[in-house]
Structure 1
Amino acid sequence: MAVTPRPDGHVDLIIVGGGPAGCAAALMAASVGMRSVLVEAGDALCGKLQHIAAVNNVAGGHTSGPELAADIGKDVARTDLCEVQLGVRATGIDASDDHVAVTLDTGRRLTAAYAIVATGVGPLSADDVSWLTVAEDMVLPTLWGAAIPGGEPGPLLVLGADRPLGTFLRAHALHSTAVVVAYPPGDDYKADEVRSDPRVTLLPLTRLSVRPAADATFAAEWTDRQDQSGTLTARAVYLNLGSAPTPPPGALIPDSTGYCPPETQHPHILTAGDLRSSRFQRIMTATGSGSEAALRTYYAQQNLPPSGRGRYAT
């Protein structure tokens, strides 16, 4: 639904990113009467949730990502104060003393007093890490949303112990397929989540190379933490190396890791969701940060401090 701009041509808020954080921001903004435009590069809201088959840390009774995504989408569709633009990418964000301008790949230019950027993160590739070597021209799928392949029995090899590993194992709880998880020292703490799963063999190492082998299998050679070498064969290999922030170009200010903490941004640009930090990448923290960001813009436009007293307190 198109939102009618105010007489000055602005809406109250531009939201870039239609995941849980961006959608929560849109809903919170609408609840206090703010008009917003939500821009999402994908073809659906909360597209990444569609790949999370099992959810176990979200309040409200949802146990699957697709169900949660569908309900969030219905909530956003019910408000007439948010215009949703799907399949549209922000190609630039500019900020001035009193407003923010967002340029879209359609050529449209949006302006508002504030913008919330919640574009999240994308998966790292084999080229992004130093401990892994993949044979030339070999493209490995990510574990995110993967299904257990059919065919001959044999172990699956997962490269990296990032959080999608636990989601994958919960989604396939009835499968007895063996999973070998090869991971570098930086992933040691992440492996704790799956250490007790009897299907999992943990392989802490310093280097690994993988190449195609006979009969549609894969051969891996590795060096462990004690400088011992070994080999293994797997029927499928998945990348699970972690993620990197995906901010749109323009006025956002990343830190040394590429993330965009809210406290370092222009006063009229707020970041929310996974884009803020690598430490709080959860659905619940994303929705909370999106809601908080929307309220901050509301209080700012009312000339009220974000934490008030008496009747202004939340």
Structure 2
Amino acid sequence: MADTPPRTGAPATHDTNLVIIGGGPAGCAAARMAASVGMRSVLIEPDTLCRNLYRIPAVNNVLGGYTSGSELADSIATELKGTELCRLELGRHVTALHADGDRVTVTLDTGTRLTAPYAVVATGVGPLQPCDAGWITAPGDLTMPQLWQAEADDVQGRSVLVLGGDRPIGTFLRGHPATATRLHVAYPEADAYKIEETRDDPRVTLLPVEHLTLTHGEGTAVLAEAVGRDGKRHTVAADIAYLSLGNVPTAPPGDLVRGPDGYCPPTGQHRRVIVAGDLRSARFQRIMPALGSGSEAALHAYYAAKDLLARG
């Protein structure tokens, strides 16, 4: 059988060839790849396309010469919005995902149901808060801004306590190379492998801790009592605090298999559900792997659909 698209219209029993949940780099790449092989898709995203990319001031690990996340996001969004075989459902949430023998049914917050032979789930991750980290003691209702949300003016000339050693610290420093600030990065042993790229930046003071208790005091915006890995206690004072704790998976409710860490590994899922992007694992949260996995997911659905047609 020739290597040609199965068909550009959805089968009579389905609304489309492929439903894509999530409009980040992985979901957008899946939609673009699907269109390139003649598959119609519906992409569902509760926000704007590639919304998290707009929060990255500098990128240095993608092809194409892009220097900022917003530049890359604009390019991806423009291309996808011009892709005729992809229908965008922006501002919509998925409330249920159901996979059975021959289809996937996705229910939107409007009550609309969409069916397709396959679904790509690329909903990614969302930020953790202090109450989610076992090594931090803080008021249960405390929420704090993420470091990637900080602008240069927010931290210029200020002392900043950063809770967690996740990689957005390096992204922030690269994006604001001339900003005069002091980042006091308190991080647990589990984050030790993440802080190598920031270790030599003179603006960073690394604080490896076993535990940290966050309080507020007079004369300073933030006070924290840290217990070092040597058991010694010391006080950390800063003008402001931000989070860089990492993320938690944001999978839609329904027929998805989750690992002990909450992520949804591609293996073990229903054969009609393909997981792509950051939702797969904490170890692959990069732009390039997301783009590649989204493209691969669409091709997986394409070839699987071809096999079904060939057998039919």
TM-score by length of 2: 0.93
**Which residue, 89, 109, 113 being the options, matches 1:105?**
109
Call closer, same or farther: CA 1:213–1:149 in 2, change over 3 Å: farther
1:80-159 aligned at under 5 Å gives the runs 80-135=84-139, 137-150=141-154, 153-159=157-163
Looking at structure 2, the residues matched to 207 and 150 of structure 1 have their Cα atoms a distance apart, in angstroms, of 27
What is aligned with 1:46?
50
Unaligned runs of 5+ in 1: 305-314
**Which residue, 267, 280, 291 being the options, matches 2:284?**
280
Q: Aligned partner of 2:288: which letter?
A: M
1:230 aligns with 2:267: no
Looking at structure 1, the residues matched to 10 and 257 of structure 2 have their Cα atoms a distance apart, in angstroms, of 29
1:29 aligns with 2:43: no
Call closer, same or farther: CA 1:249–1:198 in 2, change over 3 Å: same
- Contact 1:27–1:76 (CA<8 Å) still a contact in 2? yes
- Contact 1:154–1:177 (CA<8 Å) still a contact in 2? yes
- Contact 1:54–1:171 (CA<8 Å) still a contact in 2? yes
Looking at structure 2, the residues matched to 51 and 295 of structure 1 have their Cα atoms a distance apart, in angstroms, of 29
- Contact 2:256–2:264 (CA<8 Å) still a contact in 1? yes
Aligned-residue offset at 1:172: 1.1
**Which residue, 230, 245, 250 being the options, matches 1:246?**
250
Unaligned runs of 5+ in 2: 1-7
What is aligned with 2:293?
289
What is aligned with 1:190?
194
- Contact 1:223–1:230 (CA<8 Å) still a contact in 2? yes
- Residue identity (%): 52
User: What's the Cα RMSD here?
Assistant: 1.7
What is aligned with 1:213?
217
What is aligned with 1:166?
170
Q: Aligned partner of 1:164: which letter?
A: P
Q: Aligned partner of 1:97: which letter?
A: G
1:66 aligns with 2:70: yes
Looking at structure 2, the residues matched to 150 and 108 of structure 1 have their Cα atoms a distance apart, in angstroms, of 43
Aligned-residue offset at 1:213: 2.4
Shifted more, 175-184 versus 150-159: the winner is: 150-159
Cα distance per residue 1:102-147 (max 9 Å; x no partner): 0010110000000000000111111111111124654321112322
Looking at structure 1, the residues matched to 251 and 192 of structure 2 have their Cα atoms a distance apart, in angstroms, of 28
- Contact 2:130–2:143 (CA<8 Å) still a contact in 1? no
Call closer, same or farther: CA 1:197–1:208 in 2, change over 3 Å: same
Aligned-residue offset at 1:9: 4.3
- Contact 1:158–1:179 (CA<8 Å) still a contact in 2? yes
Looking at structure 2, the residues matched to 216 and 195 of structure 1 have their Cα atoms a distance apart, in angstroms, of 26
Q: Aligned partner of 1:180: which letter?
A: H
- Contact 1:138–1:211 (CA<8 Å) still a contact in 2? no
Give 3-state SS (helix, strand or coil) of 1:45's partner: coil
Give 3-state SS (helix, strand or coil) of 1:275's partner: helix
Call closer, same or farther: CA 1:214–1:173 in 2, change over 3 Å: same
Call closer, same or farther: CA 1:151–1:189 in 2, change over 3 Å: closer
Cα distance per residue 1:61-88 (max 9 Å; x no partner): 0010111111000110111100001110
Looking at structure 2, the residues matched to 144 and 151 of structure 1 have their Cα atoms a distance apart, in angstroms, of 12
**Which residue, 20, 25, 44 being the options, matches 1:15?**
20
Call closer, same or farther: CA 1:138–1:94 in 2, change over 3 Å: closer
Give 3-state SS (helix, strand or coil) of 2:31's partner: helix
Looking at structure 1, the residues matched to 156 and 106 of structure 2 have their Cα atoms a distance apart, in angstroms, of 51
Shifted more, 248-257 versus 127-136: the winner is: 127-136
1:178 aligns with 2:178: no
